[in-house]
Structure formats: C-alpha cells, structure tokens
A and B are shown apart, each in its own frame.
Chain A
Amino acid sequence: MRARSIATEAKDHDRPAKSLRNLLVLDHSERSPHFAIVLRTILILLLFSGSCSFASGAEPEKSVIQIICASQQPVWDAPWRFDSVRRAGGSGFVIKGKRIMTNAHVVSWDRQILVKRYQDPRPYVAKVRFIGNDCDLALLEVEDETFFDGLEALNFGELPKVRSTVVTYGYPAGGEQISYTRGVVSRIEMQGYAHIGNRSYLGVQTDAAINPGNSGGPVIQDDNVVGVAFQGISGLENTGFFIPPPVINHFFKDIEDGTYDGFPQAGIRLVALQNPAYRRSLKLAGEDLGARVDSILPIPSTQQVLKEEDVIVKIGPYPLGSDGTILYQGNRLNGAMAFQEAQHGGSIPLKLWRKGEEVDVSLPVYVYQEDRSVGNQYGALPRYYVYAGLVFTTLSLDFMKTFGRNWADAANAELVYELYYRRHEFPNETRSEPIIMAAVLADPVNANLTVRSRTLVDRINGIRITNLEDVIKAFDTVKNDQHVIEYLPNHSFECLDRAEADKANLNILKTYGVPKDRRL
C-alpha cells in the first residue's frame, strides 16, 4: 500500500518511509517482503476548503486560507547546492491569536510563503512561527496584521466519532476557488505520518475527497475544527486522512514555552502477549491485560525504569490489552497512543507485572533524536566536508533518496544495513553519524581513485570515523605523506598524496562552486 500526502505539486510527494517499528510498536504484523523499510509514497495534500456551519454564525470559508509556498530543498549528495525553487499550494485556517494553522509539509524548506484570504486577490507575506515536522503541523504569522481583519478564528472540537460526518475545506488542485467535500469518519487509529516518515500518531481516515492542495485545511464538524487534512493513500479511492484534536492539542501544549520539542517516545518494543504458555511462564493471570516489553532502545532513562520481559498492564489511566491496545475514547488504539499524551521531559505512570509481582513505576519520556537520519529531515541543512574533491556527508534517508525512486534496490546494501539495522544488532559498534563519501569532484589529484563515490567510510588515516568531525580531524591532524581512506565493506582503501591534495583543495572548491569546504 502506498501512502500519499497531498500537495498540489506532484514531484514533491514520493517519500519512502520506514515503517514505524523502531520505537513503540506492536510487532506481530507481517513484515514487508523486501525489508523493514516499507516504501510508502506519500502525497502531502495541501488542502484548503471550508464549508461548515458555524455556531457563531460566521462563514467558516472566510477563515480558510490559501497558501502558496516557494520552497527550496538542499541537494543531499551535493550538500552545498539547492534544488530549483518549487512552488506549491496548500491550505490553512485562522486560529486564535492571529495565526494560521497548516501542515508542516506545506511550508517546509520555505523561501517565501504567501497567504490569501477568501476571495481576496491580495497576497500577504507570512512566516513560520512554529513547525512540528513529526506531527506535520505548523503555525504561521502574517507580517501585515490587517490580514486578519474581519476573519474569525476557528475553534477546535473533540475527536469525532466513527461514522460521523465531517466536511473538509481547502484549495485543492483542479481549480482556483475554495472547495468543500463531505464524508464520514471511516476509521480512527495510529497512522504513519508521511512527512516525517518514521513516526506514527493518531490519524483519522475519512472518505471525504482529500486531494493535492487540501493539505493544512480544516476538517469541520458541528462548527468546530476536528482535524487538519494532511495525507492520502495513492491508489485507494475515497481515502483521506486528517490530524485529529489529540495531536493538535499536543502541538499547542508543546509550544506554550515558546519552543516546539516534539512527541516523546517510550523507546521500547511492546509486543502482544496472547500466548497462554508465555503468560503462564510470566505467572500472569488472566488473558486480557498486559503487553510485553520485548526490547528497549539504548535510552538510559528508559533502561533504568524498564526491563525486557516486563509486562505493562496500565499506561497512565489506560489499561493495556494483551494485544497491546488501549481503549481511547471508544476506539481501540495501539498502546503507543498513551505514551504520546505526555510532553517531552514529562513522565508517565506505568503499572507493570515484573517477576510475578505488580510494580508501579514512572517512566520519563523524551523526544528521541537518534533515529532522525532514518526519517525525512527538515530545516537543518546537511552537514558536509569537502577535501581534495572528496565530498563527505552524513548517511541518511534523504541521501539514500538521491539514488532515485527505487533507492532501496539501487543503493549499496551496506548503506541500507548501516542506516537501518546496525544500531539494533551491534549497538556497541554503532557510529553516531555514519559518513559516506558522497561524490568525487574530479581533479587530477583524485583522478586515479578507484572508489569513486557513495561509499561508506570506515577510517581515515587510521582514525575510525564516527561523525563528520572525525573526518576533519583525521585529515587535519595526521601529517603522513599520504592520506589513507578506508571504506566499507571489505576494507578497500584509497590514498591521496597529502601535499598535492592540500595544494589542490582550494582550487577544486572554486572550480565546482563550493562556497565553503564544510558545513557543520
């Protein structure tokens, strides 16, 4: 199945995403036949349309905003360069405090954001005030506050019920005017969020048409916003998704201190505990409650509180079913939902079954950043270092996508393994920032290198490379006649004459228009 997020510009929207199995998942589902990376193409929909009746008597479509964003992404295998400027349209809506809520993917990598009011020809310049790339939400401010004159802020409602009717508002592709589509809530469950690619949060599926351009638009029920339209699944008819109030409220709570931190992660693999023998072996009575901690990520705060083979019986106020789900507002949801109610730096009370006894603990939870390279990255430009025409940068999903649509097949298997598996299998050998030689800028000094590019770097001048700073240190501090660069796998290596490389370095940067030899 291919998930799509919906935006008006098609080429923006093919984002392979790793299935969210790395943090808190119930993992008895069938694995992808190829590998754990589930390639889901996401269409980010920037939708804008609004039609719903308002208790205040206001016309909600007047509060639905058309957003036109000119964006420019970095080129991940030539990290000093940027792609051509792309212009895409999306939707948003006015909320209290003279702000516009939209999707993060509508405004990510922005160079210019223009917003337009309902049936008003004048564009206004806006800027991002807060952006949550994990939950795909953003708040915009408009430089000219007269923009908000006469506009009423939309209010938020509760999580809608399954089978209830909702209306989406937005400015999807296919026309210039606002569009309204009505549908029912088909399903409420945890969904992979395509914009970040490696996180799952609560999502609501509707059969209301949600198309490219709808992204960021409000989904309205009983005059209140009950969601922000954000993605669909290509190939499936009448299937759109919106971000529901629990996620939106978490975002608002997060930014109260003036900074967006993100959703915290428990850092555990929680699996169903339904086999009677397994339950007996843990001396666990009953068959309904309790899911098992199968493994724990190397997060010290989690490792201090939880142990493998702990059975979690209750998360906060939610009893945890033996299938790993909680009952949340009438919906059976993955237990991960309960952990996501906490804020970064907060804690969650857990009731455990450990070695035949019930134990109460408090689990501190934090935003987990160590796996950011396996998700889509935004905001921070890629780190790199260029020496003698050799371009070193960070191994990441964004880099892998430079191999093309079928990057998982095209890329060296060693890169896939390093990015997705080594951290789980050999945590003691894991490099904090695996470095690849992304390209070789051709010059006589490097003309005879056999290993040309897109290769994982193991050592330089004997120094094990764990991050970009190691690369710089290795070239700067060692004064042998030759630099020795070793690669993985099989320890192939190349040498550069140090004096010639030092001499050629600046000229190569100039020849290829590299403004600086590094970005750290």
Chain B
Amino acid sequence: MKYRFYPLLAGILSLAILCSATAAESNAAKPVWDHSLVLLDVTRKQYDYFQPWTKRVKTSHKMGLVLSGQEILTTADEMFDRTLVRIQKGGRGRWWTGTVTWIDYHANLALVTAVDEAFWQDLKPAELSDPASGAESFQIIRWREGKLETRKAEFNQFTVGTGHLSFVAHVELEVSAEIQGLGGGEPIIADSHVVGIAEEQAGNKCSIIPSSFIRPILEARKKGSYRGLGYFDFYWQPAENPASLKFLKLPGEPRGVIVIEVPSHPGLEPVLKARDILLSVDGFDIDIQGDYEDPSYGHLSLENLATRGKWAGDDVKFKIWRDGKPLDVTYLLPKADYSSTLVPDAVYDQEPEYLIVGGLVFQPLNDAFLQAWGPDWKRRSPFRLYYFNNQSPTPERPALVLMSQVLPDIYNLGYQDLKYLVVDQVNGQKISRLPELRDALRKPMDGFHQIQFMPSDSLRRLVVAADQQEQATRRVLQLYGITKDFFFATPPPTNTTTAAISP
C-alpha cells in the first residue's frame, strides 16, 4: 500500500503545486499590469500624396505603459499627424482624452498624459529595467478585446538596427513570439520588470526597443539635457582583408574598420578622412567586422556607440590610424534630421506641400511621396526618383521639387501625360523648394514660364503662358474640387548631413 500510496500522493502534490504556481503567477501578474498598461486610441490624418490636397482619417490602437510622473510611454509610430488621442484603462470602459507631451520620431518614443486627475486613480506606474543578456524568456502583454493578453516570447539576440522611423541605429532586442500584430508599444516583461516595448514585427520575430535605450533618453529629457539622437556621419567597410590593412601600414593583428567616405559639409573641417582606420570608439576596441564588445550585450555594431547614452552634440573619442600613425580625435555627433538628405526620409506632423500652376502639380520629392506606391514602394516607385536616395544634397541643390502630375486643362494642352519630372530651373532660376518655384513664377520670361527639368532620359522643358496662369489655376481648382492652390510648410532647416551607413 505504501508503495502505491506514495507515488499517487506525490503525483497529487505535484499537480497541486503546479496548479498553485500557475495560479500564483497569473494572479501575481494580472493585478500589476492591469493597472500599468493602458490602451491608446489614436486618430490621425492620412494623406494621399498623389492628391496632396486631400486628407483622410485613420484610427489605430496602441499600448501605453504608465510611468511615474503621470506619463504614459508608447512608440512614436502612428502618433504623427494626430488629431485626437484617447486613453482607456483596464481594457474597457470610459475613454479619457490624452495629450502628447513629448515625441521623438528618430527614437520612436512618445510620452502621453491625461489632463484629468481622475484618470490617474488606480493606476500604478511601472518601472523600466534593463534587459539582462542572460534572460531567455519574456512575456509580451497587451489589451485585446477587453482582456489582458499575455504571450511568451523567446530571446533571439541583441542587435543594432535602424529604428522603425529613422536611419539612426541603436541597440535592439530581438525576440520570437507566436503572436500577430505587434509593434504598437506592447511592453515586454522579464522577471516582473518591463525591459522594453515592441517596435516592429516581421513574421514571428519582433524588434523590441530595450529599456536600456529608453531610460537614458527619458532621464536626460527630464534633466533638459536631451538634444535628440546623434549618429556617425561617415561610411566604413570591414577590415577583413589583411592586404588592405598592410596597404594602410597598420602593424600587428588586424583590427578596426576602414573609413571609406566622409560627406563634406560647407564650413566644417571633417574629423575623419577616407582610409582612416577606426580602431576604437570611446575606449571600446573595434574589431575587423565593425563590432565592439558591449559590457551588457556582447558583440554589437560600432554604430550603437553613437546612441549608447550619447546625444546629438556630444563628443565621441575616436582612436584612428592615419598615414601610418595612431591619432586620437574627438568626433561631434551630428543631430539626426530628416531634412538632411536630398530625399527626406520622412515628413511628420506636416501636411503635404504642393503648388498648382495652371494644372501643373509641383511637390517636394521625399520618401512620403515615394511611399504612395504602397508597401513595396522601394521596388514599385519610379527607379530614377528612388535613386535620388543614393545621391547627396549640395549647397546648390539641398532638396528636390518634382512636377508630379498634370491636371488636364486647355492651358496645359500637350502636357497632360507628363509626370514625375524633377524640376531643375523655372524662368532661369534653380529650384530646390516650392517657395523658390513660386518666387520664380513672379519673373516670367517674355510673357512665358519656362520650366526646365533635370537632364535624364525624359523631357527637358516645357513652356506655359504667364498671363493666363492665374485664370487657369482658378479654373483647375474649381474643376477638380481643390480648395487651395498651394500648401507650404515652414521652411526646414538648411543643415545638410547624411547618414552613416556601413556598406
């Protein structure tokens, strides 16, 4: 009997312990996150860049993590061009009006608050905790149909990638999870601590913005010392070929990476030169693949050292090898700025700019325009327009304006099929931005507007009558139901820099 009893008892006990542990975990987790996770309902304007004068509305749901100081942390994605933010506690019930108090698209982070003090009752601020490199499993939580959903996620790796909304690289935590629709700021939990928020999902892999990246930014912001993210504004290649290091007269073991291109900026003497070997950054030795040994996360790309607790305007110490000698230099991190590229990566919180001249529609060339070709826009948009991403701005041509389409009218007869032509000059004046184009139209040549396009494999020029322009424009606006012939945003800063991208 004893012999039979004990195994049975043991089985019952095990089952009881297991049930009790599961219940305990569930019960322990639920009350905490119920009061720390809120649902955000964001309504924003959505633009059709093929008809930049039209606006649509899009509503999306995101997660927000309650922090101390009556702040709610979420990603910046889907928060641009917003018209209304609402917040819901407990996954159901009343909606409260929210206000975005801070947003950084390059970091893909935003803070939201609710003005109504009553909202904050019963909410418990969560604390951000750095993910440990040894953690193997995580939980992802989110509100789903009024209930708190918890899913298991497995550790894949720490890596360095560009943000979902930016070219700036920073450390990311990659996990695998059998869950769909992540990327809206869902917190990821390890050992009852929030170690990051979800940024993007591809298949079952999910990119997490780790707390170790978020916390220093939020702390610096509180102190007023956050100046935005910086980045390394140069191109480099791995130094895996010993012959190349020999050519550059580097003795000893192969190490470092080779700088191959440093964009020039007027009035600024570049710190680095092509064919410098970058040996160390802020004391971290760089290996021949461009990685350094991060104390927390192991091998990471050197690009992370531009955002590892450093901001735009901070100094970074480089040890380089130049002309057969070592050299210590100080590199000033430039501020990440969408308008620094010839084709800006993004235009947030701004209506699309356009100018209609007798049915000729002019728009700035930016990625937002190219993205009108849909999710596969990098392949489907016109090659020549997309290829401008490979070209750098110059003082003479800091940005591009294109004639995107022609709204047919007798005024523009003969041009009705033209589209996607990049403007070079109007009435003899070089054009980089829409206001310049408008100014040039005030100076017609012999009664005509002469519009010259960039030399390529397409049309070079067209001419329209200056004296009929206003009348034709009014006619076109009326015919096509357009309320205004232009929209110009505030002129962007003239700072021109380019992103550092490893080849």
Binding site for B on A (CB under 8 A): 21-22, 27-37, 269, 271-278, 280-281, 294-295, 308, 408-409, 413-414, 416-417, 420-421, 424-425, 448-450, 481-482, 484, 489-497
Q: Are A448 and B240 in contact (CB under 8 A)?
A: yes
Q: Are B460 and A278 in contact (CB under 8 A)?
A: no
Q: Are A308 and B460 in contact (CB under 8 A)?
A: yes
Q: Are A450 and B237 in contact (CB under 8 A)?
A: yes
Partner of B417, one of A21, A28, A420: A28
Contacts of B5 in A (CB 8 A): none
Q: Give the contact stretch, choosing among B86-94, B317-325, B382-390, B485-493.
A: B382-390
Contacts of A34 in B (CB 8 A): 379-383
The CA-CA distance from A271 to B460 in the complex, in Å, is 10
Q: Are B448 and A494 in contact (CB under 8 A)?
A: no
Q: Are A294 and B459 in contact (CB under 8 A)?
A: yes
Binding site for A on B (CB under 8 A): 235, 237-238, 240-244, 246-247, 258, 260-261, 274, 373, 379-384, 386-387, 390, 411-415, 417-420, 446-448, 450, 454-465, 468, 503
By Cβ-Cβ distance, the 10 closest A-B pairs, closest first, are: A35-B383, A274-B414, A277-B465, A275-B414, A495-B243, A278-B463, A448-B241, A495-B244, A482-B247, A495-B247
Q: Are A492 and B503 in contact (CB under 8 A)?
A: yes
The CA-CA distance from A434 to B411 in the complex, in Å, is 44
Tell which of B242, B411, B458 has the most Cβ of chain A within 10 Å.
Answer: B458
The CA-CA distance from A274 to B462 in the complex, in Å, is 11
Contacts of A276 in B (CB 8 A): 413, 465
Q: Are A281 and B417 in contact (CB under 8 A)?
A: no
State whether A492 and B241 are in contact (beta carbons under 8 Å apart), knowing that A275-B413, A275-B464, A421-B456 are contacts in the complex: no
The CA-CA distance from A481 to B414 in the complex, in Å, is 62
The CA-CA distance from A295 to B452 in the complex, in Å, is 12
Closest Cβ neighbor of B415 among chain A residues: A275
Since A275-B463, A278-B448 are in contact, a sample of 7 more A-B pairs with Cβ atoms closer than 8 Å, ordered by chain A residue number, is A22-B457, A30-B417, A37-B383, A271-B459, A278-B464, A482-B247, A495-B241
State whether A27 and B459 are in contact (beta carbons under 8 Å apart), knowing that A274-B413, A280-B465, A413-B390 are contacts in the complex: yes
Nearest-Cβ distance from residue A191 to partner chain B, whole angstroms: 20
Nearest-Cβ distance from residue B412 to partner chain A, whole angstroms: 7
Q: Are A424 and B455 in contact (CB under 8 A)?
A: yes
The CA-CA distance from A269 to B383 in the complex, in Å, is 21
Closest Cβ neighbor of A497 among chain B residues: B243
Contacts of A449 in B (CB 8 A): 241
The CA-CA distance from A416 to B462 in the complex, in Å, is 27
The CA-CA distance from A29 to B416 in the complex, in Å, is 9
Q: Are B418 and A28 in contact (CB under 8 A)?
A: yes
The CA-CA distance from A281 to B384 in the complex, in Å, is 30
Q: List 12 A-B contacts (CB under 8 A).
A: A28-B414, A28-B417, A30-B419, A33-B381, A36-B458, A274-B414, A275-B463, A276-B465, A277-B463, A448-B242, A481-B246, A493-B258
Nearest-Cβ distance from residue B424 to partner chain A, whole angstroms: 11
Contacts of B241 in A (CB 8 A): 448-450, 494-495
Q: Are A31 and B503 in contact (CB under 8 A)?
A: no
Q: Are A281 and B414 in contact (CB under 8 A)?
A: no
Q: Are A421 and B457 in contact (CB under 8 A)?
A: yes
Contacts of B240 in A (CB 8 A): 448, 450
Partner of A36, one of B242, B379, B419, B457: B457
Contacts of B463 in A (CB 8 A): 275, 277-278, 281
State whether A489 and B243 are in contact (beta carbons under 8 Å apart), knowing that A273-B414, A274-B414 are contacts in the complex: no
Nearest-Cβ distance from residue B498 to partner chain A, whole angstroms: 11
Contacts of B246 in A (CB 8 A): 481-482, 495, 497
The CA-CA distance from A414 to B447 in the complex, in Å, is 41
The CA-CA distance from A493 to B462 in the complex, in Å, is 43
Partner of B420, one of A31, A420, A421: A31
State whether A425 and B413 are in contact (beta carbons under 8 Å apart), knowing that A34-B379, A35-B384, A494-B244 are contacts in the complex: no
Closest Cβ neighbor of B466 among chain A residues: A277
Contacts of A484 in B (CB 8 A): 247
Contacts of B382 in A (CB 8 A): 31-35
Q: Are A295 and B455 in contact (CB under 8 A)?
A: yes
Contacts of A36 in B (CB 8 A): 383-384, 457-458
Q: Are A492 and B237 in contact (CB under 8 A)?
A: yes
Q: Are A294 and B417 in contact (CB under 8 A)?
A: no
Nearest-Cβ distance from residue A371 to partner chain B, whole angstroms: 11
Nearest-Cβ distance from residue B405 to partner chain A, whole angstroms: 10
State whether A295 and B460 are in contact (beta carbons under 8 Å apart), knowing that A281-B446, A450-B241 are contacts in the complex: yes
The CA-CA distance from A29 to B414 in the complex, in Å, is 11
Closest Cβ neighbor of A278 among chain B residues: B463
Q: Are B244 and A29 in contact (CB under 8 A)?
A: no
Partner of A33, one of B373, B413, B450: B373
Q: Are A272 and B414 in contact (CB under 8 A)?
A: yes
The CA-CA distance from A237 to B241 in the complex, in Å, is 56
Contacts of B411 in A (CB 8 A): 277
Contacts of A277 in B (CB 8 A): 411, 448, 463-465, 468
Contacts of B274 in A (CB 8 A): 491
Q: Are A491 and B387 in contact (CB under 8 A)?
A: no
Contacts of B244 in A (CB 8 A): 482, 493-495
The CA-CA distance from A417 to B240 in the complex, in Å, is 29
The CA-CA distance from A277 to B461 in the complex, in Å, is 13
The CA-CA distance from A272 to B415 in the complex, in Å, is 9
Contacts of A490 in B (CB 8 A): 235, 260-261, 503
Q: Are A413 and B387 in contact (CB under 8 A)?
A: yes
Closest Cβ neighbor of A501 among chain B residues: B243
The CA-CA distance from A169 to B240 in the complex, in Å, is 63
Nearest-Cβ distance from residue A516 to partner chain B, whole angstroms: 26
The CA-CA distance from A196 to B246 in the complex, in Å, is 47
Partner of B243, one of A21, A27, A496: A496
The CA-CA distance from A492 to B447 in the complex, in Å, is 50
Q: Are A408 and B383 in contact (CB under 8 A)?
A: yes
Closest Cβ neighbor of B503 among chain A residues: A492
Partner of B457, one of A21, A29, A481, A494: A21
Q: Are A27 and B458 in contact (CB under 8 A)?
A: yes
Contacts of B459 in A (CB 8 A): 27-28, 269, 271, 294
Tell which of B237, B373, B379 has the most Cβ of chain A within 10 Å.
Answer: B237
Nearest-Cβ distance from residue A325 to partner chain B, whole angstroms: 14
Closest Cβ neighbor of B383 among chain A residues: A35
Contacts of B462 in A (CB 8 A): 275, 278
The CA-CA distance from A149 to B420 in the complex, in Å, is 61
The CA-CA distance from A335 to B159 in the complex, in Å, is 59
Closest Cβ neighbor of A27 among chain B residues: B459
Partner of A275, one of B238, B412, B454: B412
Nearest-Cβ distance from residue A70 to partner chain B, whole angstroms: 37
Closest Cβ neighbor of A308 among chain B residues: B460
Q: Are B260 and A491 in contact (CB under 8 A)?
A: yes
Closest Cβ neighbor of A37 among chain B residues: B383
Q: Are B455 and A425 in contact (CB under 8 A)?
A: yes
Q: Are A424 and B457 in contact (CB under 8 A)?
A: yes
Nearest-Cβ distance from residue A90 to partner chain B, whole angstroms: 34
Contacts of A409 in B (CB 8 A): 379
The CA-CA distance from A274 to B464 in the complex, in Å, is 11
Partner of A450, one of B238, B247, B413: B238
Q: Are A31 and B464 in contact (CB under 8 A)?
A: no
Tell which of B379, B386, B457 has the most Cβ of chain A within 10 Å.
Answer: B457
Nearest-Cβ distance from residue A453 to partner chain B, whole angstroms: 14
Q: Are B415 and A425 in contact (CB under 8 A)?
A: no
Closest Cβ neighbor of A35 among chain B residues: B383
Partner of A29, one of B247, B417, B420: B417
Nearest-Cβ distance from residue A501 to partner chain B, whole angstroms: 9
State whether A414 and B390 are in contact (beta carbons under 8 Å apart), knowing that A28-B417, A409-B379 are contacts in the complex: yes
The CA-CA distance from A28 to B247 in the complex, in Å, is 53
Contacts of A417 in B (CB 8 A): 387, 390
Q: Are A493 and B260 in contact (CB under 8 A)?
A: yes
The CA-CA distance from A494 to B260 in the complex, in Å, is 11
The CA-CA distance from A315 to B78 in the complex, in Å, is 59
Q: Are B415 and A28 in contact (CB under 8 A)?
A: yes
Contacts of B460 in A (CB 8 A): 269, 294-295, 308
The CA-CA distance from A451 to B102 in the complex, in Å, is 43
The CA-CA distance from A273 to B464 in the complex, in Å, is 12
